[in-house]
A and B are shown apart, each in its own frame.
Chain A
Amino acid sequence: MEKADFLSALAVPMENASPRELAEVQTELGDHIADHAADLEAAGWSEADAEAAAVAAMGDPAEVGEALNREFSRFWGAVSRWAAVALILLIVAAFIPVCYSCIYAAQSLAWRIDPQKPMARYFKGLDAVPLDIRMDGADGDVVRFAMEAMTTETLPDENGAEQEWDVAVIGVCIYDRNPFRYVADSYTAAQPSFLTDVPHTHGVRYSGGGVAVPAAAIRIYHVPVHRGQATVTAQYDLFGTYFTVEVPLYWGDGHEA
């Protein structure tokens, strides 16, 4: 029998020992066999014979394992295993908020570096142009107008008849300057609104976006506009912070009207 076989057979009856305790016992008895074999080799034995003799001198691994197993408490063995599981769960539970904060912060940082990326899927098939208009919002927020595309959409007129209207699709990203802080208030309150005087439509609608993480938000606005209109007005009013901003409209080829 080789040393590895002895140590494996030793482990079979040791069900009361925890994995750590079993590993310690196997290390200790493995060292014992190695020491004995080294002495035999020093006395002129071949390596293989020395190990075989050292293993044989240990006795029956099943008997040794059973005798050792009796010295490990079944109760404490079970308790230690459950305690280990409980400890792992507690550590995981304790780290969940930290992990979430880090994930939120990472996402928030990624969005402020490249706000067009999370918006891209809402602009598929449109000739989108990047914007970079940044305004100071409430409570440390930044309101960033980041992407725009001009398109036409079929919307009902005052009689309910379907008509084609020119629409500016504008992507806005809001984030707190501190990536570990949340966007002020709810994301809907923290969003700007767009003013439109195009009649007989359903007004401004949203095609997507919202809170992906508490520390950053995006929203895609579909603002009905007049053909050739130069800008569209965005308005923000939250916690005493108020601003309006004229967002330029790019009518084809990326050029302003």
Chain B
Amino acid sequence: MDKNNIEHTNLLALKLLSGEDMYGYQMITELERRSEQIFRMKEGTLYPILKRLENAGAVKSYMAEMSGRTRKYYHITSSGLSLLKTEEARWAEYARGVDAVLGGAQNLA
């Protein structure tokens, strides 16, 4: 379960970056906004995930100035987009499995 959690966090991070380049705090706020406040992670834990994705070549980071402040932005690479597709497919499969179990349980009820 832990493994899935980690991979799903990768999935969320990659999905956020597939739309636009973002910096860490922007990703956290965007994640909360899109999930309607359901996803609230310890914000510091995002950075080891981003670093791991960067080490894997899935994202690249660069410094850019926006509104007078220099921030570290993350950009998804083509390799990251491929990984995102794989993760999305795995998530869909996982969700189908969960749905099937829940649907089965509802049928039983």
Q: Which residues of A are interface residues toward B (Cβ below 8 A)?
A: 10, 24-25, 27-29, 31-32, 35-36, 39, 57-61, 63-64, 67-68, 70-72
A71 adjacent to B24 (CB under 8 Å): no
B: contact size bracket? 10 to 19
Partner among A25, A39, A58, A71 whose Cβ is within 8 Å of the Cβ of B42: A58
Give the complex CA separation of A70 and B45 in angstroms: 13
Measured between C-beta atoms, what is the minimum distance from A12 to chain B in Å? 14
Known contacts A31-B69, A57-B43, A59-B43, A64 near B48 by CB under 8 Å: yes
Give the complex CA separation of A42 and B25 in angstroms: 16
Sample (27) of A-B pairs whose CB atoms are under 8 Å apart: A25-B47, A27-B72, A28-B24, A28-B72, A29-B24, A29-B47, A31-B69, A31-B72, A32-B24, A35-B25, A36-B25, A36-B43, A39-B29, A58-B44, A59-B43, A59-B44, A59-B45, A60-B42, A60-B44, A63-B44, A64-B42, A67-B48, A68-B47, A68-B51, A71-B48, A71-B52, A72-B51
A61 adjacent to B44 (CB under 8 Å): yes
A61 cross-chain contacts in B, Cβ below 8 A: 44
B44 adjacent to A64 (CB under 8 Å): yes
Given A28-B47, A59-B44, A71-B48, 19 more pairs with CB closer than 8 A = A10-B44, A24-B72, A28-B24, A29-B44, A31-B25, A32-B25, A32-B28, A36-B25, A36-B43, A58-B43, A60-B44, A63-B44, A63-B45, A64-B44, A64-B45, A68-B47, A68-B51, A71-B55, A72-B51
